[in-house]
Amino acid sequence: MAVSQRTGCRASLQQILPRSDGTYTVFYRVSDVDPVRVLDVANEDDRLEARLIGASEKEGILEVDVSNVEEFFVVTLTDAGAIPKHMWSANGVAHIVADIPPNRSASDVIDRFSSDHPAVEIVARRQKEYTTPLFSHRELQMAMNKTLTTRQHEALLAAYAGGYFDWPRKKSGEEVAAELGVSSPTFFQHLRRAEQKVLSLLFTEQRTGANRAETNEDAISG
């Protein structure tokens, strides 16, 4: 929030990755100002280590390693049991939309988060139908973190955030590669390998789940 206040940028959360050492890597899309300015301000905080992994004149993707997790409200919200869906900050004010899975008490999650961050205001609370995913949000993050290399994750995120997967495409692969500062063949190599690994995670889990279901049915029939 302080970075958006000092630079006048809009920062939108793209991805949170937990690390094995208890720290987190967080990816933001920053816009409306020179992303290099945002990078410089972020790195003035000794508790953060920020890098640009893709940038244009008024927009970029910022990769931030966070060690002070107890002060970082998005991480504490995740640790409380919620799943951040959208988060953005501008002019020093942050806005968060999060889901709370049905196996969690919404009141407990809100109370814990509010206790950690008493200045937070809960604007609205809505109940909706919830479909159980193959992975929990945290499980998917951890699986991707273990499976993808840093370069593969950067290529996948930059392509997604840059609109490479949109139709029509907002940016070509060559444009995303240029923003990352790598050649097109290198970018496509990292991207294709990342796509293969993510799809492998998905379809391997589907097959495993189907096999478990068949085994349970056989046991019941017997």
At 205 the pLDDT is 57
Which residue in 144, 186, 193 sits closest to 173, CA to CA? 186
**Residues listed for the chain:** 222
Which domains does the chain show, CATH number per domain? 2-116 (no CATH), 148-221 (1.10.10)
Amino acid code (one letter) for 75: V
Residue 213 pLDDT > 60: no
Is the pLDDT at 137 greater than 50, yes or no?
Answer: yes
**For residue 71, what is the DSSP state?**
G
Rounded distance between C-alpha atoms, residue 183 and residue 177, angstroms: 6
Task: Please check the confidence at residue 95 and state whether its pLDDT lies above 70.
Answer: yes
Query: 194 is written with which tokens?
Result: 């990342």
Confidence tier at 214 by pLDDT (50, 70, 90): very low
Answer for the pair 51, 39: CB distance below 8 angstroms, yes or no: yes
Residue 131's pLDDT is 54
Residue 221 has pLDDT above 70, yes or no: no
Query: Of 193, 209, 184, 95, nearest to 153 (Cα)?
Result: 193
Comparing 24-28, 88-92, 155-159, 202-206, the range with the smallest average pLDDT is 202-206
